[in-house]
Amino acid sequence: MTAPGGPAGQQTVRRHNLGLISTALAAGPSSRAELAQRTGLTKATVSSLVDQLIARRIVVEGEPAATGVGRPARPVQLDPDGPVALGVEINVDYLAACVLDLTGALRCYRHRTVANRSAAPAGILAQVVALAEEVADELGQPLLGGGLALPGVVGADGTVLRAPNLPSLTGTMPGRELAAALGLPELLVDNEANLGALASLRTEPAVGPDFVYVSGEIGVGAGLVVAGELFRGVHGFAGELGHVVVTRDGPACGCGGQGCVEQYAGQEVLLRAAGQPDLERLEAAVAAGDPAALAAVEQAGSALGVGLASLLNVLDLPTVVLGGGYARLFDAITPALAEQLDRRALAPRGAGRLSRSPLGTDAAVRGAAGAVLDRALRDPAGLTGSGASSGSSTPWRTPRTG
């Protein structure tokens, strides 16, 4: 069906070069000549690779840009109407789903408040499948893959190893079931803080390649990014900031320890101390200058600062990005947090060391879709099999309604 393109070595090189072109285009539209300059490939090679990406619906030609002399250059760009990436998040008190197109633009988003903590896995999955299908089919564009964010530690095979706030999911493989329901060969599954960190890496170049992303939901997690790569640890347990000890004999924690960060700065503890039922109401109380709300946020910030200082002293990372609920409470929580970092973190405090994730509580679900997109752009040939351009053997999930 597909013409053999030469020896295996040549195929590998071509596959690698296709990834070079699509990754270069992630920065924006470009002419073939510019692509040749940026990738170091010849213009003839670039043209041939671009034609292959056009056939795969990854790349599309733009309008010719008149340059004055000679034939106008025709820029190429990633195809916003091509296949899309799905992101899904299961959290303790909500579900979310989104779709990013190949250019990285957010095209669909849904958020649903759901009490998942004591729900059975089958019930959680049924709701998340329904939400994911709704979002996946909305644009009528094929799905190149999906990612799932969870508030827990996920093993390399997608098994939930530890999810103290969603205990029924421990030991399950929700990614496998969701993939089967969606008709996808597999789903990428990772911890919400890791995926929030990846979302920061994709969308906030100013943060740089080395940082700690802190996700402040009901659990407190950290995604560690070192030299532009996520650091997961040997078993996937790296970044468990919520269980760094603040007070050795402090309150008992779900992890079996005592006095962990989560027992002072987790969202439930914070809301209880502030006397507020949810994050929206807490934000409003803080904005209105409510003394109990301000004191609770200050306490949480201080404990988080103590825990983060320990983390920074071990890892020597220059920047902290506050995400999730902490991003929403950023102005109120940072003074106490910064005070503890200044006192306890040994490395000098640089400009922009504490920053607010603009994605807020959407970071993890967007990171889940973004991780799928990044993988696809690094290896676009892997999407449709070697050289398949007829469309007959595409593993993409075609929309059910489109």
List binders of Zn ion among 128-187 (CB under 5 A). Answer: none
Give 269 or 381: the residue with its C-beta nearer to Zn ion. 269
| In the complex, least distance from residue 346 CB atom to Zn ion, rounded to whole angstroms | 24
Give 54 or 255: the residue with its C-beta nearer to Zn ion. 255
Give 201 or 260: the residue with its C-beta nearer to Zn ion. 260
Query: In the numeric block, which tokens belong to residue 358?
Result: 């603009």
| In the complex, least distance from residue 225 CB atom to Zn ion, rounded to whole angstroms | 23
Give 144 or 241: the residue with its C-beta nearer to Zn ion. 241
Nearest to 194 by CA among 135, 161, 151: 151
User: Measured between alpha carbons, how far is residue 15 from residues 1, 112, 267, 384 in Å?
Assistant: 18, 40, 46, 12
* Coil, helix or strand at residue 239: coil
DSSP state of 388: -
* Coil, helix or strand at residue 162: strand
| In the complex, least distance from residue 258 CB atom to Zn ion, rounded to whole angstroms | 8
CB-based burial, 122-159: b 16+ in 10 Å, e otherwise: eebbebbbebbbebbbbbebbbbbbbbbbbbbbeeebb
DSSP state of 25: H
List binders of Zn ion among 14-33 (CB under 5 A). Answer: none
The residues facing 121 across adjacent strands are none
Among 41, 108, 260, 286, binds Zn ion (CB under 5 A): 260
List binders of Zn ion among 210-249 (CB under 5 A). Answer: 243
Among 166, 169, 253, 304, binds Zn ion (CB under 5 A): 253
User: Stretches 115-123, 215-223, 258-266, 389-397: which one binds Zn ion (CB under 5 A)?
Assistant: 258-266
| In the complex, least distance from residue 199 CB atom to Zn ion, rounded to whole angstroms | 25
| In the complex, least distance from residue 256 CB atom to Zn ion, rounded to whole angstroms | 7
Burial of 190 (0-12, 13-18, 19+ CB in 10 A): buried
Give 165 or 340: the residue with its C-beta nearer to Zn ion. 165
Q: Show the site string, 269-298: x = touches Zn ion by CB under 5 A, - = not.
A: ------------------------------
List binders of Zn ion among 47-86 (CB under 5 A). Answer: none
| In the complex, least distance from residue 257 CB atom to Zn ion, rounded to whole angstroms | 5
* Alpha carbon distance 147, 178 (integer Å): 10
| In the complex, least distance from residue 94 CB atom to Zn ion, rounded to whole angstroms | 22
In 204-356, which ranges are continuous DSSP H helix?
262-265, 267-274, 279-287, 291-315, 324-328, 330-344
CB-based contacts of 139: which residues, under 8 Å, 6+ apart?
A: 84, 99, 101, 107, 108, 399, 402
Give 243 or 353: the residue with its C-beta nearer to Zn ion. 243
Give 78 or 260: the residue with its C-beta nearer to Zn ion. 260
List binders of Zn ion among 342-371 (CB under 5 A). Answer: none
Asked if 257 interacts with Zn ion (CB under 5 A), we say: yes
Give 164 or 387: the residue with its C-beta nearer to Zn ion. 164
- Where residue 243 falls (left for φ over 0; alpha for ψ -120 to 50; beta otherwise) is alpha
Give 214 or 253: the residue with its C-beta nearer to Zn ion. 253
State the number of binding residues for Zn ion (CB under 5 A).
Answer: 5
Nearest to 266 by CA among 297, 287, 293: 297
Burial of 300 (0-12, 13-18, 19+ CB in 10 A): buried
| In the complex, least distance from residue 91 CB atom to Zn ion, rounded to whole angstroms | 18
User: Stretches 251-259, 276-284, 300-308, 373-381: which one binds Zn ion (CB under 5 A)?
Assistant: 251-259
| In the complex, least distance from residue 96 CB atom to Zn ion, rounded to whole angstroms | 25
User: 319-323 and 229-231 as β-strands: parallel, antiparallel, unpaired?
Assistant: unpaired
User: Stretches 74-82, 259-267, 361-369, 386-394: which one binds Zn ion (CB under 5 A)?
Assistant: 259-267
| In the complex, least distance from residue 164 CB atom to Zn ion, rounded to whole angstroms | 8
- Residue numbers of the site for Zn ion (CB under 5 A)? 243, 253, 255, 257, 260
